[in-house]
A = this chain, B = another copy of it.
Amino acid sequence: MKIAIVGTGMIGGAVARAARRLRSVREVTGVDNNPVHAADAVRLGLVQRMQADVPDDADIVVIATPSEAIADRVIELRDHRGVIIDVGSVKGAIVSAVRARLGSAPPRYVPCHPLAGSEKHGPAHAPEQLFHERLLILTPLPETDPRAIATAEVFWRDLGSILHTMPLEDHDRILARTSHLPHLLAFAFMHGIADEELRFSGGGFRDFSRIAASSPELWWKIFELNRDTLLAAVDRFDADLKALREALATNDSRTGLRLLAEAADRRRKLP
């Protein structure tokens, strides 16, 4: 198989690195507008070579650009012979943009989202085994070709992913709460911390705020692409925060303790 990776940043670089190890993969080609990423991806051996355009004979094209650039690439590749996979954190807005332009999504496009990442970016930070035993969500569309889905599934399984298929609306709603919301909260939290307070922070602060070091550009776009669903998640959080604040302000220990205990019980269920 020949693989093309469009966007050789941290995620695309990790796909390339993992794909090169597969026996079924003969060639990994990169496509990237960013000359620094392009040079790094070759120098680090993530891809065999870089090209200006997606090779016509690629069997799988992985679109790993920032989320807002995915729809244009899918549209551009509508007649490509290969299976088109993306790794975007939001699915609804991408598919809507593609459908608005083409009427329906290309049958060989399989929307995917690996739940794996890091606050770092760029091919130099592409981990060795980013997808190993991590969840990979597929959100195939009514118009998606089942053979394309099967190819995508085999590819991700070969990279070590655990697959889960769900409707795209469910994906965007769940991820708004489990991923986009914590990022937004971490950014808001860090915005309120003063530089001189940073040294008075322990391990709790460090872990809680780690994702606030993520790329502002990437994440603002993700927030925008999932705006309404994320706003609803923010409002739900705000209600939980208000309930806890109210219990504290009114010295209502019973309610406060109950809210904390319910939260802790849930967090302790995380495998």
Contact = CB atoms under 8 A, between A and B. Distances in A.
Given A177-B193, A181-B189, 14 more contacts: A116-B203, A119-B204, A135-B200, A182-B208, A184-B241, A188-B241, A188-B263, A191-B240, A191-B244, A199-B271, A208-B211, A213-B270, A214-B264, A230-B248
A82 to B, nearest CB: 27
Interface residues of A, number: 85
Interface string A208-233: 11111111110110011001001101
Interface of A: 115-119, 134-135, 137, 164, 174-175, 177-179, 181-193, 195, 197-217, 219-220, 223-224, 227, 230-231, 233-234, 236-241, 243-245, 248-249, 251, 253, 256-257, 259-264, 266-271
Contact of A185 (B183, B185, B215): B185
A179 B205 contact: yes
Contact of A240 (B192, B202, B259, B269): B192
A216 B244 CA distance: 12
